[in-house]
């Protein structure tokens, strides 16, 4: 298993590189995010992909790859914040400058479609990145918990002990037990696209935090089937079921619960600890999480306490 490679945390006046590896962004939401980031003291450098407003992707594969690589190679850039998700990130993976990442590890921040970049970069370099809010999700009316979680991971210090949850939020044990391994938070559909490629990290004893949005029950079923058929699900150490948002059927023959039940039953049958209710994903109240850091999941027997997730190391070193 590749050793974790920790990036530098960003100072308050960090210079962030903004680019869009996926689909075009709404202009209002993009400008709103820029304003918020500037108010936080960041110096921002943007690329042409942030201005694309139509089409499936925010530029060609070559254009988006060169933008990201230029940030990775630039010694004056402290971190890279992706603009939005959608589709298109996976096709950048064969063309990224992994040597530049190894020689100057920068903080990468994104989720949803850029899940592919975070997982692929970790698989090739060991870089620990941040699965958290992107430009279009950051603004002055964002939930305080969401913003504070993002800030802690971007600036530090990373939380010690039990991972902070919103007030009155508790996790639920579905299968009791304890696991320790690399933490991989991800969008389920993007994760499954990497199965069978060199861009999926080693999943031995891994703790997976799974979220999804706008997928029909049939889609969730196919994701579970692909993961199951690969046999890789038998390598993992634990599962945290996070936000499954608007995973609605297209007709009245099915319900949203039909799709969620497939995921829940699959997870419960793996013989590893499973908890649910974690606030990570596409909803307004959501935690940012490190992707690739060592972690511990504790799922007590029902009635014996609340489940907890702990991150065990950060860019500053081991966490007590």
* Residue 271: DSSP 8-state: S
Query: Mean pLDDT across the chain, nearest whole number?
Result: 95
Tens-place pLDDT, residues 158-198: 998 899 999 989 999 999 999 999 999 999 999 999 999 99
Token representation of residue 276:
């649910």
State percent of the chain over pLDDT 90: 90
Q: Which domains does the chain have, with CATH numbers?
A: 15-142 (3.40.50.10740), 172-318 (3.50.30.60)
Whether the pLDDT of residue 304 is over 90: the answer is: no
pLDDT tens, residue by residue, 85-143: 999 999 999 999 999 999 999 999 999 999 999 999 999 999 999 999 999 999 999 99
Closest of 118, 56, 110, 63 to residue 85, by C-alpha: 110
Q: What is the pLDDT of residue 252?
A: 79
Q: Which residue has the higher pLDDT, 160 or 270?
A: 270
Instruction: Grade residue 320 by pLDDT with cuts at 50, 70 and 90.
Output: low
Phi, psi of 201, rounded to the nearest 5 degrees? -65, 160
What are the backbone dihedrals phi and psi of residue 151, each rounded to the nearest 5 degrees, phi first? -60, -40
DSSP string, 206-220: -EEEEEEES--HHHH
pTM of the model: 0.96
Q: Which helix (DSSP H) or strand (DSSP E) does residue 179 occupy?
A: strand 177-187
Class of residue 61 by CB neighbours under 10 A (exposed 0-12, middle 13-18, buried 19+): middle
The yes-or-no verdict on residue 319 having pLDDT over 80 is no
Q: What pLDDT was estimated at residue 251? A: 80
Q: Which of 119, 124, 125 is nearest to 105 (CA)?
A: 125
Tokens 């479609």 belong to 113
> Are the beta carbons of 77 and 16 closer than 8 angstroms?
yes
| Burial annotation 202-238 (CB, 10 A radius, 16+ → b, else e) | ebebbbbbbbbbebbbebbbebbebbeeeebbeebbb
Contact (CB, 8 A) for 123 and 198:
yes
């Amino acid at each position: 298993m590749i050793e974790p490679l920790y990036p530098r945390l960003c100072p308050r006046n960090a210079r962030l590189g903004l680019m869009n590896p996926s689909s075009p962004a709404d202009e209002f939401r993009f400008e709103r995010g820029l304003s918020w980031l500037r108010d936080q003291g960041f110096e921002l450098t943007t690329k042409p992909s942030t201005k694309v407003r139509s089409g499936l992707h925010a530029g060609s594969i070559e254009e988006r790859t060169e933008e990201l690589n230029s940030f990775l190679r630039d010694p004056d850039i402290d971190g890279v914040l992706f603009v939005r998700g959608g589709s298109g990130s996976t096709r950048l993976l064969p063309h990224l400058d992994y040597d530049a990442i190894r020689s100057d590890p920068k903080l990468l921040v994104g989720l949803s479609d850029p899940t592919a970049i975070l997982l692929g970069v970790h698989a090739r370099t060991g870089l620990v990145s941040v699965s958290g809010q992107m430009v279009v999700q950051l603004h002055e009316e964002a939930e305080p918990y969401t913003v504070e979680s993002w800030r802690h991971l971007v600036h530090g210090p990373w939380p010690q002990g039990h991972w902070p949850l919103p007030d009155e939020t508790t996790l639920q044990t579905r299968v009791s037990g304890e696991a320790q391994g690399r933490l991989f938070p991800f969008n389920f559909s993007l994760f499954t696209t990497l199965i069978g490629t060199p861009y999926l990290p080693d999943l031995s004893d891994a703790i997976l935090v799974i979220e999804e949005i706008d997928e029909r029950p049939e889609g969730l079923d196919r994701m579970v089937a692909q993961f199951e058929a690969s046999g890789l699900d038998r390598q993992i150490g634990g599962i945290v079921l996070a936000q499954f948002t608007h995973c609605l059927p297209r007709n009245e023959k099915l319900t949203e619960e039909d799709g969620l039940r497939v995921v829940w039953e699959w997870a419960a049958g793996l013989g590893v600890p499973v908890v649910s209710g974690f606030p990570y994903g596409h909803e307004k109240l959501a935690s940012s999480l490190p992707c690739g850091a060592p972690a511990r999941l504790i799922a007590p027997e029902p009635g014996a306490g609340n489940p907890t997730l702990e991150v065990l190391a950060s860019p500053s070193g081991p966490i007590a």
